[in-house]
Amino acid sequence: MAKRQLLPPQSTAMNQNEEKYLQVLKTLDPELYLIKTALEQTGVNPMILPRVIRVLGNLNIGSGYGEIIILIKSRIVTQIKGNESDILNMPIDSKT
């Protein structure tokens, strides 16, 4: 009778698959790999990032100047605001 090969525990197999996935990601899309590893290291909710990116993109196609404000209350992101502004570089005094 042939010996039965024991399968590794499911968690070990999942860890190995995750490691292989990250190596493929690192090779094929290094920027996405950096984002993925930063999310894993910090534990930040990945569903927040697309909203930040969208606001950043809106500022970019608008005036190109502004700020992104992320409001947090009790460790919960409540709002992501993009405040667009115009750069004037003009003196207040009209006589100057």
Question: Rounded to two decimals, what is the model's pTM?
Answer: 0.71
Give the Cα separation of 45 and 36 in Å (integer): 11
Let me know: does 77 contact 71? Beta carbons within 8 Å: yes
DSSP code for 67:
E
**Torsion over CA of 81, 87, 93 and 96, rounded to 10 degrees?**
170
Residue 89: what pLDDT?
84
Q: Over its length of 96 residues, how does the chain's per-residue pLDDT go in tens digits?
A: 556 666 566 778 778 898 999 999 999 999 999 999 999 999 999 999 999 999 999 999 998 899 999 999 999 999 999 999 888 888 888 886
Closest CA to 35 of 20, 52, 11: 52
